[in-house]
Chains A and B, each alone.
Chain A
Amino acid sequence: MRALTVGLGRRVHAGISEFGYASLLFFEGLYWLLAGPFRRQPVRLSAIAAEMVNIGVSAIPIVCVLAFANGVMMALQGIYTLKDFGAEAQVIPGLGYSITREFGALIVGIVVAGRSGSAIAARIGAMQMSQEIDALRVMGIHPVRYLVSPLLLGMMVMVPVLTVLADAAALSGGGLLCVMQLHMSFGAFWDAVLAVLVPWDFLQGLLKSLVFAVLITLVGVTNGFMAEGGADGLGRITTRSVVLCIAAIIVADMIFTFFLSR
């Protein structure tokens, strides 16, 4: 019993200090983005561009495919359910709201968590273990400025961009089903969707995606910097990073939705 409480206490303590460390990295990352040029340690545009390609551009195909498929599924389920009430046409606003407010960002979040959450942790973890981070520090190069800031900015730009794409792809998928099942034209579907949506619907999704971007970055870099041990340590933190990223995204999404839909 005592061992149990002590163990629990230790875990809570570790969790809190990890959270604190992640927040510190967040503010330091922002700090270098803003103050770097004045301290003669600017965050390199080339580094930011490289991260944006890594995180964003190469994720476009998979994001589009998954979002499209998700749109098709939601339309199918919606039409099937609403048919009983003879209200199939109501599937269109349903699709519009849930995709823009919710699923576009969520799909992107999960894809980016799987691709980049693990990759970030693995890359920084490997650098930590081979003393590359120490090498940066003794050269007078702040590791947060060099490694975290470009990632943070790249993520905060690319995840919302991907979310716009995912919204478009998912709505197209849903639209395709409506065209086939409800015997309407594609143009008419888009008119109907855009008639019910207001900018705030898109904005909700984009705000969420911005939060997801920060969460994925922080979970990845925190796990990377805390890496120790050999190859199995690296395996452990990459797995942990992906699981924590996805958990953080879903919990954040729930909290967000709770407050935004009141």
Chain B
Amino acid sequence: MTRVQDSDEAVVEVEGLVAAYGDRRILHGVDFRVARGEIRVIMGGSGSGKSTLLRHLLGLERPRAGTVRLFGKDIHRLPSGALQALRRRIGVSFQGGALFNSMTVLENVMFPLREHTRLDERTMRIMARMKMEVVNLAGFDDLLPAQLSGGMIKRAALARALVMDPQLLFFDEPSAGLDPVVSAELDELILRLRDTLGITIVVVTHELDSAFKIADTITVLDRGRILMTGPREAVRTADDARIQALLNRRPEALQVDPQEYLERLTRMN
């Protein structure tokens, strides 16, 4: 579809990415690119491979084929020292938060500073508290992750992802499992981050409302293939049957070949 961006401005570039767990192929050759300062939403049904794609973008899994370039560097070819330096420019908020359970919220948010900088304790504390203000968590310094609600965990994870002032932010399912008000707050926050700080943001979600609210461009993933990448209006009005099925929550259109369906049900392993 529409190519929105120039190559030299691409912060994320994925080419021919093939991913598999064991013998099971999950992604069948995925291509896309995200320009600087863009908010890209990767959308798709449950099990379509969104989190798998994200894990490959983060260099947590090795692709079977294809390349992933962040800031122009192939992360799977980079020597480990350079990769670790690159990762300091990237913030990640995981689907489940992935806060360190043995540390308080403040310690969690301070952690990247403690590991990567030589700032003194007071400065780190101030910087961490500033990010906690940004995500509306001021005053919850001493709580442990087990004492937080789902929305607070997401916000704390976001504060930790932002504390090193990243140029690129990955956010897996910001609004899944949250009430509409909190999830709308998070959406506002994402927009504000891009507008005020110019961060490039890649959001993975299957919440349609949230996707259309924050996205500049949307990549629609379906069963390990990209159906379409384009500006949100183009995706909303696309006439591809499967995209419309996804957007309008029509399960029947997602069902494919009746013959194949019967075979699946009657298969004897």
Contact = CB atoms under 8 A, between A and B. Distances in A.
Interface in B14-58: 55, 58
A134 B94 contact: yes
Interface string B87-118: 11010101110111100000000011001100
Interface of A: 39, 41, 126-127, 130-132, 134-135, 137-142, 146
Contact of A138 (B85, B90, B101): B90
B84 interface: yes
Interface in B70-89: 80-81, 83-88
B98 A39 contact: no
Nearest to B85: A140
Nearest to A129: B96
Given A130-B101, A132-B101, A138 B116 contact: no
Nearest to B108: A135
A140 B101 CA distance: 19
Nearest to B118: A40
Contacts of B86: 140
B60 interface: yes
A130 B115 CA distance: 20
A131 B185 CA distance: 25
Contacts of B98: 130-132, 134-135
Nearest to B60: A134
A138 B60 contact: yes
- A134, A138, A146 pick with most chain B CB within 10 angstroms: A138
Nearest to B58: A138
Contact of B112 (A126, A131, A134, A139): A139
A72 B40 CA distance: 71
A135 B92 contact: yes
Nearest to A141: B115
A137 B60 contact: yes
22 contacts: A41-B84, A127-B100, A127-B101, A130-B96, A130-B98, A131-B94, A131-B95, A131-B96, A131-B98, A132-B99, A132-B100, A134-B98, A135-B92, A135-B94, A135-B100, A137-B60, A138-B58, A138-B90, A139-B87, A139-B88, A142-B80, A146-B115
